[in-house]
Structure 1
Amino acid sequence: MDLSNKVAVVTGSGQGLGLAYAKDLARHGAAVVINDVNHATADAAVAEITAAGGRAVAVVAPVGSTETAQKLVAGAIDAFGRLDVMVTNAGILRDKVLWKMTDEDFDAVVGVHLRGTFTCVREAVLKFREQGDGGRIIAIGSPAGQRGNFGQTNYSGAKAGIVGMVRTWAMELQRAGITANAVCPVAVTAMTETVPLFAPYIEKMKETGELPPIIRHEVGMGTPDDAAGIVSFLASDEAADITGQTFSIGGDRLALWSHPELTATAFHDGGFTADDIAAQWPIVFADRIESVGEKFPEELTAQ
């Protein structure tokens, strides 16, 4: 796959998943703008990519504001002359249960994930439309946004919002040849190391370098590098007709998420009173209740 004619911005790409995306894009020939809040981390990422023969520059700034979004796009234009791909990966966590989550906890996470995705994509789309030859939006979501996750009101809400925006952008941008897709990666990172269910497997991986099949296959969790291929694919000309989709990738598993659909429907002339709903509930809806949270193999949850 040849991306040598592409220029990509990857937010939050100094380390972890973002760095894996940037390295894979560069390995396929794309020029990459690295973004991080730490100068040393960003410079190290650039050095790693250029040492491997790739092209990269750094823009050090916290994602969220329009000013940072403008700096990122300008960084691509100044260094490489154009912009073709915007990968919105930057994120933080402030995990707490609802009744302990502060306004600051909520606003910080939503500001980076949801607002940061919005501002960076808006700025990229302005440049794409000016250039007139399409573009690629790849927004990083999470299974937490699809299924919910305990202690992550802010994160789950932001990630669900990202997928909702992607569906809207797919409609708004199609005539301009700009695709918009979401990717929900599952990988061993600083964000997942603290999950008790995975902790023993991650600790063992640090010793052996490997994860067992139940984690790689059934859970679909692997290394950041395992999640990078879908980003390079969606950035490529091969994916020109794919838009408005949400992918899951991790370990040895690649999957496509469904969009929400009506699963049970009832009708009542004149509309529904509360009593009408109570009468219809056990007949039409009771056995169609959807579950919440991620589903994991019993072998893991029984421990």
Structure 2
Amino acid sequence: MSSNDSPLSGKVAIVTGSGRGLGLAYAAELARQGAAVVINDVDAATAADAVASIEAAGGRAVAVVAPVGPTETARQLVAAAAENFGRLDILVTNAGVLRDTVLWKMSDDDFDTVINVHLRGTFTCVREAATYMRENEIAGRIICIGSPTGQRGNFGQTNYAAAKAGIVGMVRTWALELKRAGITANAVIPVAATAMTATVPYFAAAVEADEKGEPMPAFFRHDLGFGTSEDVAGLIAYLASDAAAGITGQALGVGGDRLQVWSHPDAVATGYRKGGWTFDALESGFIEEFAESLQGVGEKFPPLPEGLQRPAAGA
């Protein structure tokens, strides 16, 4: 396929937090499909290496070295796209940090740092990109990265869960607000081998295979929908393309061999009591009427098949 025939030929993308890991995989795939890419990382050497890897593969890229969160960084990113490549069509908000600890040990700084990078950083970057797209009449693509933690919760991740749930909520709102301009907004919920999952014994066999360049066991790829960074990147590029012009306001899960459409929150049970639901009415009728409809929290993983178990660290 020639570069002029590539699905994203002539398009320009920003990918925040793209110096390594999932973000770099997204940027590399966007470039492979023809887009010029603005790389972003807080480390200059990491960003330079990412740019070099994309250029070595025949793509075009520049870097902005700055922390995501402040409005000034968002402006730098959009300016870099416009000044180096003449336009901006695609924004992928991937930048993030973790400060995991249980609620009663989480400091103000633990909470604020994660919210600032994930939630505020997504907001400032999307605001700047959407403003540019609207002013230049570009039917752009906004792709925000969520997490299963934001969908279901996870022990020790109050800050991260709040940020990722908030991102999906903002995406739904932006899909409404940007529809007239032809700009789509979607959230991607990736499940892949990352620095975070590398420390979890449950995923050890899959991570080890990935690090060795070997195929992951089918149990992880199929049953858990857990795969490589590259398994997620295809969906990013698809949502960035003209082929996905009619897809907006969605939360799409992807990993390994699995693709999912997450539902928006909706009532799963409805009950009526004449006179309203007083304390006495709830005490006598809530469990009987709603117990089977109460929702679970957290992710529930099946037991690992024989041969895939790995001992916990330090065991």
1:103 to 101, 108, 112: 108
1:141 touches 1:185 (CA, 8 Å); kept in 2? yes
Q: Deviations over 1:53-109 (max 9, x none)?
A: 101000000000100000000010010111001100000111111111111111111
State the alpha-carbon separation in 1 of the partners of residues 242 and 206 from structure 2: 37
Structure 1 unaligned runs (5+)?
A: none
2:266 alignment partner, SS class:
coil
State the alpha-carbon separation in 2 of the partners of residues 207 and 35 from structure 1: 27
Q: TM-score, normalised by structure 1?
A: 0.97
Deviation at 1:279, TM superposition (A): 2.2
- 1:231 paired to 2:221: no
- 1:176 paired to 2:176: no
Structure 2 unaligned runs (5+)?
A: 1-5, 310-315
1:192 to 186, 197, 219: 197
1:265 alignment partner, SS class:
coil
1:228 alignment partner, SS class:
helix
Query: Aligned pair in 2 of structure 1 residues 139, 126: CA closer, same or farther (>3 Å)?
Result: same
Counterpart of 1:146?
151
Deviation at 1:300, TM superposition (A): 6.2
1:91 to 78, 82, 96: 96
Identity over the aligned pairs, expressed in percent? 64
Deviation at 1:201, TM superposition (A): 3.5
Q: TM-score, normalised by structure 2?
A: 0.93
Letter in 1 for 2:290: F
Letter in 1 for 2:245: A
- 1:58 paired to 2:63: yes
- 1:80 paired to 2:88: no
1:197 alignment partner, SS class:
helix
Deviation at 1:282, TM superposition (A): 2.5
Counterpart of 1:222?
227
2:169 alignment partner, SS class:
helix
State the alpha-carbon separation in 2 of the partners of residues 193 and 210 from structure 1: 16
Deviation at 1:148, TM superposition (A): 0.7
Q: Deviations over 1:150-207 (max 9, x none)?
A: 1111111100000000001111110111100000111111121112321343235434
1:254 to 256, 259, 264: 259
State the alpha-carbon separation in 2 of the partners of residues 170 and 280 from structure 1: 39
1:121 to 113, 118, 126: 126
Query: Aligned pair in 2 of structure 1 residues 213, 284: CA closer, same or farther (>3 Å)?
Result: same
Deviation at 1:208, TM superposition (A): 5.8
Counterpart of 2:300?
295
1:197 touches 1:300 (CA, 8 Å); kept in 2? no
* Mean CA deviation greater in 183-192 or 230-239: 183-192
Letter in 2 for 1:6: K
Letter in 2 for 1:217: H
State the alpha-carbon separation in 2 of the partners of residues 103 and 215 from structure 1: 36
* Mean CA deviation greater in 19-28 or 198-207: 198-207
1:265 touches 1:284 (CA, 8 Å); kept in 2? no
Deviation at 1:295, TM superposition (A): 2.3
1:10 touches 1:86 (CA, 8 Å); kept in 2? yes
2:210 touches 2:228 (CA, 8 Å); kept in 1? no
Q: Deviations over 1:4-63 (max 9, x none)?
A: 121000000000000000000000000100000000000111011111110100000000
1:47 to 44, 52, 58: 52
2:39 touches 2:62 (CA, 8 Å); kept in 1? yes
